[in-house]
């Protein structure tokens, strides 16, 4: 009987590839492989592309790592420079960039020289980021670098997210390695499927796993939410961002969201759906949402609002009949879409809403997938919280698109029910080829603006902007998940690179390319930008109204770093952040 411990002992002269969806446990497996190598005095070269060496070392110590003799644990940090993160001065680390495989090759060679010819274990976590930056170029890297190192007497283990790219590329990767282990999780267990291995026959191993609960906290600044509530709850039109206004171009919102989707098309949408639904439920707030209403309105709502939203007449009252407090008024006031309650098809505990010119899906007509995730989740969380606040039943609401612009329909329709919905998970998961095509189409659209002055996305009724409230539900998500921090950082870096390269290829000079991207960000109302020795941004939409006491502009930093490293070979680092209490966000060049 083969054990997990045996799988984690990678034999010299072999390259083992771990394949599995995000969250399956590939990084934990890599860490255990490293610990076993150190236990037998094998030098380690640990390549990180989705977190830094400090995070890797912390995970190793939590796994039992003690004191290590100098020279035995070495890192290639291909994460921090890629996303514009802080690069600590570590004598055991060489730095590289995930979008430049040759820089990773050079970094590994430098560490190999330090080891002085000893056979070592190379842990590469993970190939996903370099693949998403460089595509099939990763095949050359596997063949010419990792396989060469294995043939030279070293042991190599690398991992990649299943579903992150073209299936034929994954098949090609699997053909180039000596061993393939597929990892899956389901029903409280983890399955290790040994597809091929140099030392054992194909087999499957099951182990139980402990699923940790996800705790979500509110990071919204209370005073900002109080002012925002005047818009959403009381119908008072106030300006939250006096410098640039409260509406951000939907093209920029799409760039943030769909760049993140590239990194995790299977798990990312479900995570965003659940986090959004939770955060929009007022019963989960860290503050008293009732205090935002004047006393007489609180009394009125307690008396006359329905306690249950099961019946058609009661749901219609919430959607369309409560004037400035209706969901219809809030959606249209925030310019998310036109909302209509569909009496003809709705029934008890099954309600249908039509969203026309829905901001999430606009510009992605007939791409082959339903795309509405955030707004349906917000409303499902709102229905859930309203029933609890007004003394109704405690039950979880869910939402699923039954029609979508992305499926070729002229509008989006969403079904809301209290309880589970069959097919919800499947509808949220996206095929990587569809997401890749959407992202390339979005980039071409933005490049049309940058190079030829073509207009960005414009809706006939609601125009190009959506309220910053809708941006916050995306931008606050990384604050509660390290995985999402990486997803948005890497997504931003890739987006910046994908805009920088064609601008230079078009013949623009460096400064002209920079000026055009700054103009794009200001046109999209991302913030007020000053470009000098540093980059300053006031009222940055990613962090405006959100407080978490640390530097946390994950997408914006990744985007600026990806762009400037491409255009000027300069990396950037965030040094001030609105989220940390500073008056503006600021990045320095390095």
Look at strands 14-20 and 155-161 and give their pairing. Answer: parallel
Is the backbone peptide bond immediately before 126 cis, with ω within 30 degrees of 0?
A: yes
Q: How many CA atoms lie within 13 A of 485 on its CB side?
A: 15
Looking up residue 252, the CATH number of its domain turns out to be 3.30.1380
**Dihedral sign computed on CA atoms, order 527, 528, 531, 532:** negative
Q: Is 362 part of any domain? A: yes
pLDDT at 214 over 50: no
Provide the token pair at 100.
């430049």
pLDDT at 116 over 90: no
Tens of pLDDT, residues 94-105:
999 999 999 999
Choose among 331, 357, 354, 336: nearest CA to 460: 357
Tens of pLDDT, residues 521-570:
999 999 999 999 999 999 999 999 888 888 999 999 999 999 999 999 99
Provide the token pair at 99.
């979008």
Same domain, 364 and 417: yes
Same domain, 36 and 113: yes
For residue 419, how many other CB atoms are within 10 A of its CB? 9
Same domain, 552 and 494: yes
Question: Where do we find the tokens 């170029």?
Answer: 137
Question: Which pLDDT does position 295 carry in this prediction?
Answer: 54
Same domain, 188 and 241: no
**415 touches 421 (CB < 8 A):** yes
State how far the alpha carbon of 484 is from the alpha carbons of 23, 179, 441, in Å: 12, 30, 23
Same domain, 159 and 73: yes
Least-confidence region, from 238-252, 292-306, 449-463, 530-544 = 292-306
Count structural domains, the chain: 3
Question: Which pLDDT does position 301 carry in this prediction?
Answer: 61
Question: Which pLDDT does position 223 carry in this prediction?
Answer: 66
What is the spatial distance between Cα 140 and Cα 153, in angstroms, rounded to a whole number?
20
Same domain, 317 and 362: yes
Same domain, 251 and 276: no
Backbone angles phi, psi at 87, to 5 degrees: -110, 100
Q: Is 291 part of any domain? A: no
Question: Which pLDDT does position 82 carry in this prediction?
Answer: 95
Question: Which pLDDT does position 324 carry in this prediction?
Answer: 57
Same domain, 23 and 114: yes
Kindly state the average pLDDT of the residues 27-55.
93
Q: Is 446 part of any domain? A: no
**93 touches 77 (CB < 8 A):** yes
pLDDT at 14 over 50: yes
Q: Is 583 part of any domain? A: yes
Same domain, 277 and 251: no
Least-confidence region, from 185-189, 258-262, 274-278, 543-547 = 185-189
What is the spatial distance between Cα 31 and Cα 553, in angstroms, rounded to a whole number?
28
Least-confidence region, from 182-186, 291-295, 316-320 = 291-295
Question: Which pLDDT does position 216 carry in this prediction?
Answer: 40
Question: Which pLDDT does position 288 carry in this prediction?
Answer: 55
Question: Which pLDDT does position 202 carry in this prediction?
Answer: 93
Question: Which pLDDT does position 177 carry in this prediction?
Answer: 97
Domain residues for 85?
4-208
* Higher per-residue pLDDT: 474 or 281: 474
Q: Is 450 part of any domain? A: no
Kindly state the average pLDDT of the residues 281-300.
57
Q: What percent of the chain has pLDDT over 70?
A: 90
Same domain, 186 and 51: yes
Least-confidence region, from 184-193, 194-203, 526-535 = 184-193
For residue 200, how many other CB atoms are within 10 A of its CB? 12
Tens of pLDDT, residues 374-393:
999 999 998 988 888 778 88
What is the spatial distance between Cα 409 and Cα 491, in angstroms, rounded to a whole number?
28
For residue 576, how many other CB atoms are within 10 A of its CB? 19
Looking up residue 374, the CATH number of its domain turns out to be 3.30.1380.20
What is the spatial distance between Cα 182 and Cα 204, in angstroms, rounded to a whole number?
9
Q: Is 337 part of any domain? A: yes
Same domain, 415 and 485: no
Looking up residue 30, the CATH number of its domain turns out to be 3.40.50.300
Tens of pLDDT, residues 485-496:
999 999 999 999
What is the spatial distance between Cα 130 and Cα 394, in angstroms, rounded to a whole number?
45
Same domain, 183 and 238: no
Where residue 79 falls among pLDDT bands split at 50, 70, 90?
Answer: very high
What is the spatial distance between Cα 128 and Cα 19, in angstroms, rounded to a whole number?
10
End-to-end CA distance of the chain: 53
């Amino acid at each position: 009987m083969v054990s997990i411990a045996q799988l984690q002992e990678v034999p010299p002269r072999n390259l083992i590839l771990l394949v599995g969806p995000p969250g399956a446990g590939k990084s934990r497996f890599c860490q255990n492989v490293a610990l076993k190598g150190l236990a037998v005095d094998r030098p380690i070269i640990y390549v990180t592309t989705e977190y830094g060496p400090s995070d890797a070392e912390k995970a190793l110590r939590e796994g039992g790592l003690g004191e290590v003799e100098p020279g035995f644990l070495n890192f290639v940090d291909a994460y921090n420079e890629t996303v514009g993160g802080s690069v600590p001065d570590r004598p055991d680390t060489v730095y590289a960039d995930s979008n430049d495989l040759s820089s990773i090759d050079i970094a590994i060679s430098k560490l190999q020289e330090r080891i002085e010819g000893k056979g070592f274990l190379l842990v590469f976590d993970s190939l996903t980021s370099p693949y998403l930056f460089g595509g099939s170029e990763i095949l050359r890297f596997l063949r010419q670098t990792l396989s060469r190192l294995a043939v030279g007497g070293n042991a190599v283990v690398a991992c990649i997210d299943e579903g992150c790219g073209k299936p034929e590329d994954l098949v090609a990767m699997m053909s180039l390695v000596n061993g393939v282990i597929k990892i899956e999780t389901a029903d409280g267990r983890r399955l290790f499927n040994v597809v091929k291995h140099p030392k054992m026959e194909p087999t499957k191993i099951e182990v139980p796993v402990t699923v940790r609960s996800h705790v979500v906290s509110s990071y919204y600044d209370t005073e900002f939410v109080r002012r925002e509530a005047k818009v959403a709850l009381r119908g008072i039109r106030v300006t939250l961002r006096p410098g640039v206004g409260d509406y951000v171009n939907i093209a920029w919102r799409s760039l943030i969201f769909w760049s993140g989707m590239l990194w995790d098309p299977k798990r990312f949408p479900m995570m965003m759906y659940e986090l959004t639904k939770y955060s929009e439920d007022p019963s989960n707030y860290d503050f008293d949402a009732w205090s935002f209403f004047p006393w007489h309105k609180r009394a009125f709502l307690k008396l006359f609002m329905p306690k249950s939203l099961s019946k058609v007449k009661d749901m219609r009252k919430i959607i369309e009949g409560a004037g400035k407090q209706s969901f219809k008024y809030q959606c249209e006031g925030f310019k998310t879409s036109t909302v209509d309650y569909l009496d003809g098809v709705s029934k008890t505990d099954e309600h249908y809403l039509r969203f026309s010119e829905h901001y999430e899906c606009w510009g992605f007509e007939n791409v082959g997938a339903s795309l509405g995730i955030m707004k349906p989740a917000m409303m499902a969380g709102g229905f859930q919280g309203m029933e609890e606040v007004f003394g109704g039943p405690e039950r979880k609401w869910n939402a699923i698109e039954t029609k979508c612009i992305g499926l070729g329909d002229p509008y989006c329709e969403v079904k809301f029910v209290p309880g589970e919905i069959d097919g919800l998970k499947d509808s949220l998961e996206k095929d990587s080829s569809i997401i890749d095509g959407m992202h390339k189409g979005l980039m071409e659209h933005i490049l049309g603006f940058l190079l030829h002055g073509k207009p960005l996305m414009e809706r006939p009724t609601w125009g190009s902007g959506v309220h910053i409230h809708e941006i916050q539900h995306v931008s606050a998500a990384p604050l509660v998940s390290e995985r999402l921090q990486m997803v948005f950082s890497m997504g931003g870096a890739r987006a910046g690179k994908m805009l920088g390269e064609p601008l230079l290829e078009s013949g623009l000079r460096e400064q002209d390319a920079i000026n055009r991207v700054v103009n794009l960000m200001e046109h999209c109302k991302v913030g007020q930008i000053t470009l000098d020795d540093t980059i300053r941004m006031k009222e940055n939409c990613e962090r405006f109204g959100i407080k978490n006491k640390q530097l946390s502009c994950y997408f914006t930093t990744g985007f600026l770093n990806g762009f400037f490293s491409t255009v000027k070979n300069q990396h950037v680092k965030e040094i001030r952040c609105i989220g940390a209490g500073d008056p503006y966000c600021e990045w320095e060049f390095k």
